[in-house]
Amino acid sequence: MSSDDLVIVANRLPVESARDENGNRIWRRSPGGLVSALEPVMKGANASWIGWNGSYQDPGSEPLPPIPETADDRDYSIYEVPLSRGEVELYYDGFSNSALWPLYHDAIVTPTYHRHQFDSYRKINMRFAEAAAEHASPGSVVWVQDYQLQLVPAMLRSLRPDLKIGFFLHIPFPAPDLFMQLPWRREIVLGLLGADVVGFQTAGGARNFLDVTERLLGLPSVGNKVEVPGPHGARRTCLVDAFGISVDSIGLAAKANSPEIEDRVEQIRADLGNPKTILLGVDRLDYTKGIDVRLRAYTELLHEGKLDPNETVLVQVATPSRENVDEYQRIRDDVEMIVSRTNGDLGQIGAPAIYYMRNSLPIEELIALYKAADIMLVTPLRDGMNLVSKEYVVSRTDDEGALVLSEFTGAANDLPQSWLVNPYDADGVKSGIIAAAHAPLEERKRRMRTMRSHVMHNDVQKWARDFLGVLKRQESNAGEAEDQQHSSEGETANASTSTTTDKAK
């Protein structure tokens, strides 16, 4: 079999360019949940990964070192899609993260729509589609990932109708009334319908997409299937369903049980002054994550005397993210202001009320923090799934710890034994923290055992098997392949053409 029988197409590669202590360019594992989720799926497979390496490739820029054939225990191929600084600003910082990201997260921040940004989004999506078409073996499976590449399925189908094409959206899909404000709504929906299987984190996201498909295109669903018209009267079936993502449960649990992690847990608690209660937050520094919500709730509990600042500490890890986008700069400033004020009011020399780290930590350090923390705070205003909550649960091999979790995460469906809170309700968040802090040990263990059992049995490998199994069982579209091979007509072409009738700024 070819090394390209499974092709992952994602905005970012699993490795990125960095510099070592001597200033030399090196490659290291990319941060983020997508890589953590997909790398276990790739291991041992005849697979390749197509994406951007995270560095701008402008004319005259410093050449990057070659990506090694293998990195760590990677045993799959990597193909780069080059992007310039200007393209990243328009396609990624612009349309993907100033229009789609806020829109899909319930417009927590007002989306902005610019035609030139969508033009770049379409152009870059075609570049990814062409790379996939070049490297995929005949009849192989191509799995396209996330909101940055929603036009790729239809574009790829027009180039390579012999392929099995799947798409998975890692973030929420909004309610129809919200989605309909997008000027290029038809192009996005048609782009996704180019896939044989379109997957969402939750059943609610899948229902929203099916409702949009019928409302916008007049294509009703039968169950979770939509018949999509193609060129020359051909029709094919697109299956739409929920496939909640998970984590590498076995791998994380094995690390959590290692002597090195146990030693590090003791060291962390000692470094924090061996407090009675350690609370922990681990997030990208993103306005959707509700970091400011939990910090304010914690600060109020300290001021009210419901938590003792001499016996309690909050550790907040905030990984920098999209720092050249205005809204991300604002949330960083807000979070750091809260930390500064709280520590100024309640901290002591050598004992701040909040330990704040604005950097990315290796997984081993995160696992040690998970095991050291008595209460994990996961309070996004909206989140497709949230893998941190599942990493915490899996890491608690002692069946201890407590999880305070936002109702507006996909993980809330899988982890109902957590203390569920509404992050928009400050008093409710405070009540959840106090309930978790004061719960009897046996109750905490009972809840954790149930959650751990669920995540251990529903890990990332099962997520991938379920999705790829459904994709491979989908009806073959070989009958239309010959017609499409030499034609760019029909709905697939619509996904790669501009719409000028809708209004945009």
Q: What is the CATH number of the domain that holds 374?
A: 3.40.50.2000
Q: Where are the alpha helices (DSSP H) in 422-498?
A: 426-438, 441-457, 460-473, 478-485, 491-494
Please say whether the dihedral angle defined by the alpha carbons of residues 265, 271, 277 and 279, taken in this order, is positive or negative.
Answer: negative
User: How many C-beta atoms lie closer than 10 Å to residue 413's C-beta?
Assistant: 15
pLDDT at 463 over 80: yes
Range with the lowest mean pLDDT among 25-34, 67-76, 266-275?
A: 67-76
Q: Is residue 420 domain-resident?
A: yes
Q: Is residue 1 domain-resident?
A: no
Q: What does the pLDDT read at residue 29?
A: 72
Q: Give residue 66's pLDDT band: very low, low, confident or very high (50, 70, 90).
A: low
Q: Span 288-316, mean pLDDT?
A: 95
pLDDT tens digit sequence for 179-194:
999 999 999 999 999 9
Q: What does the pLDDT read at residue 303?
A: 95
Q: What does the pLDDT read at residue 330?
A: 86
Pair 292, 351 in one domain: yes
Mean pLDDT of the chain: 88
Query: What's the CA gap between 430 and 436, in Å, rounded?
Result: 10
Bridge partners, 145 (sequence order): 168
Q: Where are the alpha helices (DSSP H) in 91-163?
A: 101-104, 115-135, 152-159
User: How many C-beta atoms lie closer than 10 Å to residue 478's C-beta?
Assistant: 10
pLDDT tens digit sequence for 94-121:
999 999 999 999 999 999 999 999 999 9
Q: Which two tokens stand for residue 13?
A: 């590669």
Q: Give residue 147's pLDDT band: very low, low, confident or very high (50, 70, 90).
A: very high
* SS3 label, residue 16: strand
Q: Is residue 406 domain-resident?
A: yes
pLDDT tens digit sequence for 225-265:
999 998 777 889 999 999 999 999 999 999 999 999 999 99
Pair 207, 290 in one domain: no
pLDDT at 397 over 90: yes
Q: Is residue 273 domain-resident?
A: yes
Pair 186, 263 in one domain: no
Contact 160, 168 (CB under 8 A): no
Task: Count how many domains the chain has.
Answer: 2
Pair 201, 313 in one domain: no
Pair 197, 164 in one domain: yes
Q: What does the pLDDT read at residue 1?
A: 33
pLDDT tens digit sequence for 307-317:
999 999 999 99
Pair 241, 253 in one domain: no
Pair 10, 137 in one domain: yes
Pair 177, 310 in one domain: no
Pair 119, 186 in one domain: yes
- How wide is the angle at C-alpha 102 spanned by C-alphas 99 and 106, nearest 5°? 130
Q: Span 293-316, mean pLDDT?
A: 95
Q: Span 339-358, mean pLDDT?
A: 89
Q: Give residue 39's pLDDT band: very low, low, confident or very high (50, 70, 90).
A: confident
Work out the percent of the chain whose per-residue pLDDT is above 90.
70
Query: What's the CA gap between 38 and 14, in Å, rounded?
Result: 9
Q: Span 46-54, mean pLDDT?
A: 89
Range of the domain at 391: 249-457
pLDDT at 464 over 60: yes
Contact 292, 424 (CB under 8 A): no
75 compared with 343, residue with greater pLDDT: 343
pLDDT at 28 over 80: no
Q: What does the pLDDT read at residue 77?
A: 85
Q: Span 361-376, mean pLDDT?
A: 96
Q: Is residue 504 domain-resident?
A: no
Query: What's the CA gap between 9 and 28, in Å, rounded?
Result: 19
Q: Residue 445: phi, psi to the nearest 5?
A: -65, -40
pLDDT at 37 over 90: no
Q: Span 440-463, mean pLDDT?
A: 96
Pair 198, 234 in one domain: yes
pLDDT at 47 over 90: no
Q: What does the pLDDT read at residue 478?
A: 39
Q: Span 70-92, mean pLDDT?
A: 84
- How far are the Cα atoms of 32, 228, 253, 454 from residue 395, in angstroms, in the given order? 18, 44, 5, 13
pLDDT tens digit sequence for 330-339:
888 899 999 9
Q: Is residue 85 domain-resident?
A: yes
Pair 205, 267 in one domain: no
Q: What does the pLDDT read at residue 505?
A: 44
Q: Is residue 235 domain-resident?
A: yes
| Cβ neighbours of residue 9 closer than 8 Å, sequence gap 6 or more | 50, 51, 128, 131, 132, 142, 143, 144, 145, 149, 152
pLDDT at 200 over 70: yes
Q: Is residue 154 domain-resident?
A: yes
Query: What's the CA gap between 145 and 148, in Å, rounded?
Result: 8
Range with the lowest mean pLDDT among 2-6, 191-195, 246-250, 296-300?
A: 2-6
Range with the lowest mean pLDDT among 58-62, 388-392, 394-398?
A: 58-62
Q: Give residue 484's pLDDT band: very low, low, confident or very high (50, 70, 90).
A: very low
Query: What's the CA gap between 80 and 15, in Å, rounded?
Result: 10
Range with the lowest mean pLDDT among 80-84, 392-396, 444-448?
A: 80-84
Pair 287, 175 in one domain: no
pLDDT at 483 over 70: no
Q: Span 76-84, mean pLDDT?
A: 90
